Structure 1
Amino acid sequence: MKFSKFGQKFTQPTGISQLMDDLGDALKSDQPVNMLGGGNPARIDAVNELFLQTYRELGNDNDTGEANSTSIISMANYSNPQGDAAFIEALVGFFNRHYDWNLTADNIALTNGSQNAFFFLFNLFGGAFVDEKNASSDKSILLPLTPEYIGYSDVHIEGQHFTAVLPHIEEVTHEGEEGFFKYRVDFEALESLPALTEGRIGAICCSRPTNPTGNVLTDEEMSRLAKIARRYEVPLIIDNAYGMPFPNIIYSDVTLNWDDNTILCFSLSKIGLPGVRTGVIVAAPEVIAAVSAMNAVVNLSPTRFGASIATPLVENDAIKDLSDNEIKPFYQQQAQTAVALLKNELGDYPLMIHKPEGAIFFWLWFKDLPITTLELYERLKEKGTLIVPSQYFFPGVDVSDYQHAHECIRMSIAADEDTLAKGIAVIGEVVRKLYDEAK
C-alpha cells in the first residue's frame, strides 16, 4: 500500500512514537517495569477524589439529586469549533480575576490536548509562506533554549521547520548542594541568528517550566523574548502545560504575563486528567479564529468531557487551590526524594542534575559517558527501567557533533516512591558499571 508524502512523514519512526510505544508495551507487560520515561502525571489521592466527586455531580443536580440535564445535554452535543462555551466563559472569568488580562471569549479556544494545539500553531506559523506579492518563503519556529519538548519535533505537515539556540550551561548549587547545573538563554547567539534578522522566523516558542529539563526561564529572560518577538513582528508562544496557575508545578518566584502578541497554551493533563485530552489556547482573536477553523476540519469540535469536569473547578477556584496545595507540594517532595536517591547511587560519579525548578522530570547529565544515552536507554530497558534519551530533545539542532546531546536522560519523578527508588537503583547500577569499566 502506498502512502502520500504526508502519510510517509507521519508513519516514519520518531522519538515520540518510540516513547509512546514503549510506554504501551510496558503497561501490557507481565513483568514489572519501572516507569520513569513517560509524561503521565502522578496519582495523587486528593486530586483523584476531587475529580471523581465532580464527575459524579455531572450526572446529578446538587439540589434535587435528579439527573443534571444541562451536563448531559452538553456532552451529548457538539460544541462549536472554538470549544465548550461554558468552559471558555469560566476561563475568561478566571484569568481576568487572577491576572486582570481583560480577556473576552474571543481570546480563548479549546483543543483536544496541547499536542493538538501545537500541531495547529506550528503549522500556522512555520512552513511555506506566500506574501501579498505572491513571493514564497519558508519560515521556522525559533526555539530560544534547547533541549525542548520531544513532541514538537514532528508536528509539521511537511519536513521540520525549527531554528534552535543551544544553551549557556552554568554550574549552580541547589539547596546548598553542589552537583547541579542550569541552562540559560544565549541571547547573543539568538539575536544574531540570520534566520531571525532576515525574516525567516514565523514564531518564537518556549516551554515554562521546560519539558524535559525542569528549567524555568526567569522573568528577565521572558521579558527579553517578548521584546524580541514584538520587534520582529512574530508571536511568542509559551507552552504552560506545567506552569502557572494550573498545575503550578513551578518552584521559582516568577510571574505569568500575557499580551496580544503572546500565545499561552495550557492543558488539563498535568493536573491529573491526561485522558480527557483538553488543551486551552489564550491568544489574540485572529489566532483563535484560525485555530477554531482548523478544529472544524480536523476534529469537528473539541471534546466536551474535560471541559464539563473542569468548568465548576475553574469557576470556584478549586483548580487553583488544588494546584497550589496538593499538586505543587507533591512534586516538590518527589524532587527532594529523587535528589537524595540519585546522590546516594551516583554521588561519587560524574552525574550533574539540572536544577529542579518545576515540571515532573529530572534531566540528568552523565559527563563523558562511555556510551550514548540512546545505548543507555536500551540497556536500562532490558533491566525493566524506562527513561528517555537526550538526542530526541534537540529539534532544529544537528546533534551529530554535539556531545552533550548524547550524555543526558529525562527521568520522570511522577512514579510512586517505591518505583522511583527501584528505577534509580537500576540507573545507578548500570551507569556505575559503565564508568568503572571505562577506567
Structure 2
Amino acid sequence: MKFSKFGQKFTQPTGISQLMDDLGDALKSNQPVNMLGGGNPAKIDAVNELFLQTYRELGNDNDTGEANSTSIISMANYSNPQGDAAFIEALVSFFNRHYDWNLSAENIALTNGSQNAFFYLFNLFGGAFNVDDNQSVDKSILLPLTPEYIGYSDVHVEGQHFAAVLPHIDEVTHDGEDGFFKYRVDFEALENLPALKEGRIGAICCSRPTNPTGNVLTDEEMARLAEIAKRYEIPLIIDNAYGMPFPNIIYSDAHLNWDHNTILCFSLSKIGLPGMRTGIIVADSEVIEAVSAMNAVVNLAPTRFGAAIATPLVEDDRIKQLSDDVIKPFYQQQAKTAVKLLKEALGDYPLVIHKPEGAIFLWLWFKDLPISTSELYETLKEKGTLIVPSEYFFPGVDISDYKHAHECIRMSIAADEDTLTKGITVIGEVVRGIYDEAK
C-alpha cells in the first residue's frame, strides 16, 4: 500500500514513536521492567484520591445524592471547537485571580493534550509563509536552548522546521555538592543566528522546566527571550507542562508572565491525568481563533472528560494546593533520592548530573562515554531497564560532531523507590562495565 508524503512522514521511525512503542511493550512484558524512560507521572495516593473523589461527584449532586444531570449532559455532548466553556471560564477566573492577566474567554482554547497543541502551533508558525503572490519563505521554530523535548521533533506536517542554539554549560554545585552542571542560553549565538536576522523564524519556543533536563530558565533569560520575540514580531511559546501553576514542579525561584505576544501551554497530564489528554493554550484571541478552527477539522471538539474533572479543582484552587503541597514536594524528594542512588552506583566514574530544578526527570552526562547513549539504551533495555538516549533531544542541530549530544540520558524519577533503586543499580553496573572495558 502506498502512502502520500504526509503518510510517509508519520509512518517512518521517530524518537517519540520508538519511545512509546518500547513503553507499551514493557507494560505487556511478562518480565519485570524498570520503567525509567517514559513521561508518565508518578502514582501519588493523595492525588489519585482527590481525582477519584471528584470523579464520583460528577455522577451525583452533592446536595441530593441524585444524578448530576449537568455533568452528564456536558459529557454527552460536543463542546464547541474552542473547548468546554465551563472549564475555560474557570481557567479565566483562576489566572486572573492569581496573576492579574485580564484574560477573557477569547484568550483560552483546549486541545486533546499538549502534544496536540504543539502540532497546531508549530504548523501555524513554522513552514512555508506567503510573502506575496509570487514568493514564499520557509520559517522555523527557534529553540533557544537545546536539548529540548523529544516530542517536538516530528510534529510538522511536512519536513522539520527548527533552528536551535546549543547551550553554555556551567559547572555548578547542588545542595553543597559538586558533580552537577547547568545549561544556560547562549544569547550571543542566538542573536547572531542568520535565520533570526533574515526573518526566517516564525516563533521562539522553550519548555520551562525543560524536558528532558529539568533546567528552569531564569526570569532574566525569559525576559530577554520575550524582548527578542517582540523585537522580531514573533510569538514566544512557553511549554508549561511541568511548570507553574500546575503541576508546579519547579524548585528554583521563578515567576510566570503573560502578554499578548506570549503563548502559554499547560496540561493536565503531569498533575496525574495523562489519559484525559487535556491541553490548555493561553494566547491572543487571534491565535485562539486559529486553534479552534484547527480543532474543528482535526477533532471536531476537544474531549470534555478532563475538563469536567478539573473544573471544580480550578474553581476552588484545590489544583494549586495539590500542586504546591503534594506534587512538587513529592518530586523534589524523588530527585534527592535518585541523586543519592546515582552517586552511590557510579562512585568516582565520570557522571555529571544536570542540576535538578524541576520536571520529573534527571539528565545524566557520562563524560567521554566510549559508546553512544543510543547503544547504551539498547544494552539497558536488554537488561530490563528503560531510559531515553540523548540523541533524540536536539531538533534543529547537526549533532554528528557534537560529542555532548551522544553522552547523556534522560531518566524518569516518577517510579517508586524500589524501581528507582533497581533501575539505577543496573545503570551503574552497565556504565561502569563500559568504562572499565575501554581502559
TM-score normalized by the length of structure 2: 1.00
Mapped to 2, the partners of 1:176 and 1:400 lie a distance apart of: 35
State the shift of 1:347 in Å.
Answer: 2.3
State the one-letter code of the partner of 1:397: V
Give the match for residue 117 of structure 2: 117
State the one-letter code of the partner of 2:2: K
State the one-letter code of the partner of 1:320: K
**59-68 or 133-142, which deviates more:** 133-142
State the shift of 1:131 in Å.
Answer: 2.4
Alignment of 1:340-355 (within 5 A): 340-355=340-355
Give the match for residue 330 of structure 2: 330
Mapped to 1, the partners of 2:253 and 2:178 lie a distance apart of: 21
Give the match for residue 44 of structure 2: 44
Alignment of 1:19-418 (within 5 A): 19-418=19-418
Give the match for residue 425 of structure 1: 425
**Structure 2 residue matching 1:163: 3-state secondary structure:** strand
Mapped to 1, the partners of 2:181 and 2:96 lie a distance apart of: 36
Mapped to 1, the partners of 2:79 and 2:353 lie a distance apart of: 45
**Structure 2 residue matching 1:301: 3-state secondary structure:** coil
**Structure 2 residue matching 1:291: 3-state secondary structure:** helix
Structure 2 gaps of 5+ residues are none
Mapped to 2, the partners of 1:346 and 1:144 lie a distance apart of: 32
Runs of 4+ in 1 over 6 A off after TM superposition: none
CA root-mean-square deviation: 0.5
Give the match for residue 17 of structure 1: 17
Q: Deviations over 1:194-240 (max 9, x none)?
A: 10000000000000000000000000000000000000000000000
**Structure 2 residue matching 1:131: 3-state secondary structure:** strand
Mapped to 2, the partners of 1:286 and 1:377 lie a distance apart of: 43
State the one-letter code of the partner of 2:406: H
Count of aligned residue pairs for this structure pair: 439
Mapped to 2, the partners of 1:69 and 1:130 lie a distance apart of: 49
Mapped to 1, the partners of 2:264 and 2:230 lie a distance apart of: 15
Mapped to 2, the partners of 1:8 and 1:343 lie a distance apart of: 44
Structure 1 gaps of 5+ residues are none
Mapped to 1, the partners of 2:253 and 2:367 lie a distance apart of: 30
State the shift of 1:437 in Å.
Answer: 1.1
Q: Deviations over 1:271-313 (max 9, x none)?
A: 0000000000000000000000000000000000000000000
TM-score normalized by the length of structure 1: 1.00
Q: Deviations over 1:157-211 (max 9, x none)?
A: 0000000000000000000000000000000000000100000000000000000
State the shift of 1:268 in Å.
Answer: 0.1
State the one-letter code of the partner of 1:414: A
Q: % of aligned pairs identical?
A: 88
Mapped to 1, the partners of 2:131 and 2:274 lie a distance apart of: 39
**Structure 1 residue matching 2:154: 3-state secondary structure:** coil
Mapped to 1, the partners of 2:434 and 2:240 lie a distance apart of: 37
